[in-house]
Structure 1
Amino acid sequence: MHMSLSRCWAATLMLPLLLPGMGWAKEFAEPQAGEDVTMPAGMQEGTLHPRPDESRPPERGAPSEVAPTPPGRAPAPAPDELPVLLPSAARWGYLLRLEATTLTLLPRRGVGEDEGFIQLEPTLVIDGGEKFGLNAGAPVRLRMWGGGEGAGLVRKEDWDSLSDWGQLVRALKLGADTSPVALWVGAMEGFHLVSGHLVQRYSNRTNPDYHPAGALLTGTLGPLYMEAFSSDVLGARLMGGELELDVQHVLFGRPKQPGRYTLSLSAIHDWGRGEVKSAEVTLAHLDATAVVLVQRKGRRALEMHVFAGWGGRPGAGGAWGAVAGVGADAVTPTLDLRLRLEARRQHGGFRQGYFGADYELARLQAAGTSGLPLAQASFPEGYSVYAEAMVAWDAVLLGEVLQRHLHLSMGAEAFSWGRVDVDGRLAVQLLHRNLEVAVKGLAVGMRQPWARYLASGEVRWRFWGGRLYALGQGGTLLYPTAEGPLRPGAFASLGMGVDNGR
């Protein structure tokens, strides 16, 4: 249980393999509430099951698209009593979509000039069951005005590096939860690496001019479980992994419930060679976890666990941190709830969640008055309290069709010296799922004079049977510059889309 519930922090990623509010192509029918829909043999519910902390990249809008859980640990027993919306006879599904919008990029504080584009975004989704899935497509921005002398028809910042070509793959899944080895490739959004004490709510596309595809490789061998990831498969950026040992398995043989008592070691290195170069950084962390409560009754499951850990920055004397906390996970046919509460200690510049939601901007310029990159900026010693909540709720039932009436994901950390960081995403579906509203916000350094804020929102309204929809997006951005400081900007778009999702 623990492996499939609480440790699914590692699998909170990316963009959709199926998109909310769409359903499947018409050959797959959604059951009514109370209908008994069984799971295909060998398929675990976590194969495509979304986590509520995924969202659309900030340069395109607020979170209305939800990602699949990438291949997870195996052979952990997922909550297989939970119903799914995919009939057992179905193995393949597809979705075609085209969006056309007018996009305006606006400078703030009088810097630069407006740029206007017609944005065309084709999407192809193929779902091959538990072991294969593909979501391909990328926005193409054709210039209407602005950009200065010599500006090309296509916005060059979207395609001016090898890493940018990674945006063509939103999600590629090879392997299932039950596979000894599995691979996931695509955009990372709200990603946790197993324990989440180094890589926590990380997004690899926070920089609006950098569109890499990340990768997550998972493997299981006896009592060992491994996750290795790269934030950019086409560039030398964040690389690392976490190795977890099932202590009960080693001492007493394979347990009925794997992952009850574990030790894990993680290490991350940033090569700093992405689209914009930055200093190299290496962090490591050791964690111990124990599941203290497991309850299962029919289609309902509850788990509570405690954990403690210690981390440091190799080569940097005196840079260390400690953490202890408790977590709870609850799953019912209509609700997926995950809670976490931690007490943390930071010393010598080390901090938990170093690679977080703001990292792709902070590695170039940390929030603060120094103007220095995160690797060089000082971080006060002290204590903090971190809390995180992830909620997925549906009035009908949760299942493999990624429709949810409510997605909520929020993480907040309050430091003893006054700083507060908050990252949150909320998406709701209303009026028989015809109206989707989503908002996303990131605040770093609140209660300080140098706080950094990002916010975005999106509205989608489906009509004419749900195949056609109108959408509007808007929000704020921070762009890297050759001079060093991040340039503030904003975006707004309005357009139409069509798909075969209903």
Structure 2
Amino acid sequence: MFMRWVVVLLLVLPGGGRAEEIAYPEDSVAQDEDAVPMEADGDELLEPSMDEEDAQPEKAPRAMSGSRSRWANRLSLEMTTWALLPRRRADSDEGFLQVQPRLEVVNPGFLQLDLSAPVRLRMWGGGEGASLVRKEDWDELSDWGQVVQNLMVGGDAPNFVWVGALESYTLLSGHLVRRYNNRGNPDYHPAGAVVTGMLRPLYVEAFASDVLGARLMGAEVVLDVQHVFFGRRPFPMKYALSLSAVHDWGKAGGTSEPMTLAHLDGTAILVSRRNKEKGFELQANAGWGGRPGEGGAWGAVAGLGAEYMSSTMDMRARLEGRLQRGGFRQGAFGPDYELARFQRASPDARTQADAPFPDGYSAHGEVILSWDAESLGVLGQRHFRMSMGAEVFNWGRVEVDGRMETQLFLRNLSVGVGGVAVGAGRPGARYLVSGDARWRFLGGKLYAVGQAGTLLFPTAEGTLRPGAFASVGLGVDNAR
């Protein structure tokens, strides 16, 4: 359980709370995020925390076609109206027919492949000469990454490759990349990639926010200190040191100033209580980071993390105190970064890279809760899930982001709401909210979908244009 916080990989894919998601061919081979793989000699493997609940399978009766073999598949087609609504008088509304075919193929522990992309056909708006297909969805190479919703090769931790949307991604210790959304810009649709591997006593995780463009790239290396001094232990990573570095090339999804950050962290498990039914763990962490090549830009952090886990509940929490100096801040690559790289949440309309962050200190907290009345034994099966983070600065700034999802009425109804507030309490603050619902009926093969929310679109002048969207429609699949 230690790696639930030391190796945090939060990959929450689009369409939260989708109760209709696919099931592995047999429950006995389903990969459970709560299971800890063991080696032959009983040594616990280092395990990333994979919160892919939206894209992961669910138990029968929502089984995929071909459930008698290890290979299974699911085909679906959604047709919805998708409207962009103005939030300023000068803007005009636009309407589209969104057609989204989807193919999912699964062989548990070996391969998961999910191909899908929305094609938006213009029905009204856009002005004279507007294209039939919304051009902003496909006007650069990176946009073709949205075709790959999920690709995982070698599904067993600690060695695997994952490609897809990074909607709430955290790089291990989380002090550089925390809860990052690589599709926060609604006109930029990249596919990110995550690669992990272990060569004891080292564990490595590397990522790219865009596999088709030069954007965020980084890695973190974790050293098992106990292994170095005392050899291989039954429970690794009780004491760990890690070094992370992330660079933004700024050459995709619109150009922006390059930026590099680095961080050094130490983590220790203070309390560990485990049995077959439940477990509890308490960890302490401390670290220091900065911007290489820029003197005086540094920060420090110290805090505690805890996790409680049983067959029906998985709860993780973290509380940290942070210090910022010279423009550096922890979690700089966060949920708002794809907008802040063009215009940060402040009245001066400057970018995050060229606008120094004020000196000060802050308190950061995060809670991730998953609960199911039956069992958490199958990914995607969650009666309730909440993920929320908040940071409060001593000079009056507040940042909050989160999402809540629930499955109701025998999991036929899924509802999710989420939002981001950046710079609350200060001039130039911005707020984004969204919600979605999905309801299965007529035996489950047919379902209705609805989504709505607010958006910010980067412009050629480097500012952000506010907007909103709404979408309703129907879908059909062979899930059951």
Kindly state the Cα deviation for residue 89 of structure 1 after the two structures are TM-superposed.
8.0
Deviation string 1:266-307 (CA, Å, 9 cap, x unpaired) is 000000001200000000000000011111111312111000
Q: Give the structure, 1 or 2, with the largest relative contact order (CA under 8 Å, sep 6 or more).
A: 1
1:160-199 matches, cutoff 5 A: 160-178=139-157, 181-199=159-177
CA distance in 1, matches of 2:238, 2:130: 58
449 and 366 in structure 1: CA distance in 2 versus 1, 3 angstrom threshold: same
Alignment of 1:275 onto 2:253: yes
Which residue of the partner structure matches residue 214 of structure 1? 192
CA distance in 2, matches of 1:50, 1:450: 35
Moved more, 88-97 or 211-220: 88-97
CA distance in 1, matches of 2:228, 2:15: 36
Deviation string 1:176-213 (CA, Å, 9 cap, x unpaired) is 3345x421111101100000000000010000000000
Kindly state the Cα deviation for residue 465 of structure 1 after the two structures are TM-superposed.
1.3
Alignment of 1:66 onto 2:54: yes
Structure 1 contact 20–66 (Cα < 8 Å) conserved: yes
Which residue of the partner structure matches residue 95 of structure 1? 74
CA distance in 1, matches of 2:445, 2:74: 11
1:333-344 matches, cutoff 5 A: 333-344=311-322
1:149 to 128, 142, 147: 128
Kindly state the Cα deviation for residue 449 of structure 1 after the two structures are TM-superposed.
2.5
Kindly state the Cα deviation for residue 150 of structure 1 after the two structures are TM-superposed.
1.3
Unpaired runs of 5+ in structure 2?
38-46
Residue 465 of structure 1 aligns to a residue whose secondary structure is helix
Which residue of the partner structure matches residue 2 of structure 1? 2
CA distance in 2, matches of 1:230, 1:247: 27
Kindly state the Cα deviation for residue 461 of structure 1 after the two structures are TM-superposed.
1.5
Alignment of 1:322 onto 2:300: yes
Deviation string 1:135-164 (CA, Å, 9 cap, x unpaired) is 110100000011112111100000000000
18 and 157 in structure 1: CA distance in 2 versus 1, 3 angstrom threshold: closer
Kindly state the Cα deviation for residue 258 of structure 1 after the two structures are TM-superposed.
0.9
CA distance in 1, matches of 2:255, 2:413: 41
252 and 391 in structure 1: CA distance in 2 versus 1, 3 angstrom threshold: same
CA distance in 1, matches of 2:300, 2:238: 22
Structure 1 contact 50–66 (Cα < 8 Å) conserved: no
1:332-411 matches, cutoff 5 A: 332-411=310-389
Unpaired runs of 5+ in structure 1?
30-36, 55-64, 70-82
Q: Which runs of 4+ in 1 moved over 6 A?
A: 16-19, 40-44, 46-50, 83-89
Structure 1 contact 45–84 (Cα < 8 Å) conserved: no
2:288 to 294, 299, 310: 310
Kindly state the Cα deviation for residue 445 of structure 1 after the two structures are TM-superposed.
0.7
Alignment of 1:470 onto 2:448: yes
CA distance in 2, matches of 1:168, 1:216: 17
What is the total number of aligned residue pairs between the two structures?
467
Residue 165 of structure 1 aligns to a residue whose secondary structure is helix
Alignment of 1:425 onto 2:403: yes
23 and 159 in structure 1: CA distance in 2 versus 1, 3 angstrom threshold: closer
Q: Taking structure 2 as the reference length, what is the TM-score of the superposition?
A: 0.92
373 and 424 in structure 1: CA distance in 2 versus 1, 3 angstrom threshold: same
Which residue of the partner structure matches residue 13 of structure 1? 11
Deviation string 1:458-485 (CA, Å, 9 cap, x unpaired) is 1212111121111111110000101111
CA distance in 2, matches of 1:148, 1:384: 47
CA distance in 1, matches of 2:54, 2:48: 10
1:419-498 matches, cutoff 5 A: 419-498=397-476
Moved more, 456-465 or 89-98: 89-98
CA distance in 1, matches of 2:253, 2:110: 32
CA distance in 2, matches of 1:42, 1:191: 19
Kindly state the Cα deviation for residue 49 of structure 1 after the two structures are TM-superposed.
10
Deviation string 1:27-82 (CA, Å, 9 cap, x unpaired) is 958xxxxxxx7557999837999856x6xxxxxxxxxx71459xxxxxxxxxxxxx
Structure 1 contact 425–441 (Cα < 8 Å) conserved: yes
Kindly state the Cα deviation for residue 6 of structure 1 after the two structures are TM-superposed.
2.5
**Paired amino acid for 1:20:** R
CA distance in 1, matches of 2:31, 2:467: 50
2:103 to 121, 124, 130: 124
103 and 50 in structure 1: CA distance in 2 versus 1, 3 angstrom threshold: farther
Kindly state the Cα deviation for residue 23 of structure 1 after the two structures are TM-superposed.
4.9
Q: Taking structure 1 as the reference length, what is the TM-score of the superposition?
A: 0.88
Which residue of the partner structure matches residue 57 of structure 1? none
Structure 1 contact 142–155 (Cα < 8 Å) conserved: yes
Moved more, 233-242 or 121-130: 121-130
Which residue of the partner structure matches residue 136 of structure 1? 115
1:204 to 182, 185, 193: 182
Kindly state the Cα deviation for residue 322 of structure 1 after the two structures are TM-superposed.
0.3
CA distance in 2, matches of 1:162, 1:228: 22
Deviation string 1:310-344 (CA, Å, 9 cap, x unpaired) is 00001111000000000011221111111000000
1:45 to 10, 18, 35: 35
Structure 1 contact 458–473 (Cα < 8 Å) conserved: yes
Residue 360 of structure 1 aligns to a residue whose secondary structure is helix
Residue identity over aligned pairs, in percent, reads: 56
1:104 to 83, 89, 98: 83
424 and 46 in structure 1: CA distance in 2 versus 1, 3 angstrom threshold: farther
102 and 84 in structure 1: CA distance in 2 versus 1, 3 angstrom threshold: closer
Structure 1 contact 50–68 (Cα < 8 Å) conserved: no
Structure 2 contact 5–173 (Cα < 8 Å) conserved: no
CA distance in 1, matches of 2:471, 2:14: 21
CA distance in 2, matches of 1:367, 1:42: 39
**Paired amino acid for 2:180:** Y
CA distance in 2, matches of 1:422, 1:42: 29
CA distance in 1, matches of 2:279, 2:477: 36
Which residue of the partner structure matches residue 78 of structure 1? none
**Paired amino acid for 1:399:** G
Kindly state the Cα deviation for residue 426 of structure 1 after the two structures are TM-superposed.
0.5
CA distance in 1, matches of 2:16, 2:75: 11
Deviation string 1:407-427 (CA, Å, 9 cap, x unpaired) is 100000000011100001011
Structure 2 contact 218–245 (Cα < 8 Å) conserved: yes
Residue 444 of structure 2 aligns to a residue whose secondary structure is coil
Structure 2 contact 282–305 (Cα < 8 Å) conserved: yes
Structure 2 contact 18–438 (Cα < 8 Å) conserved: no
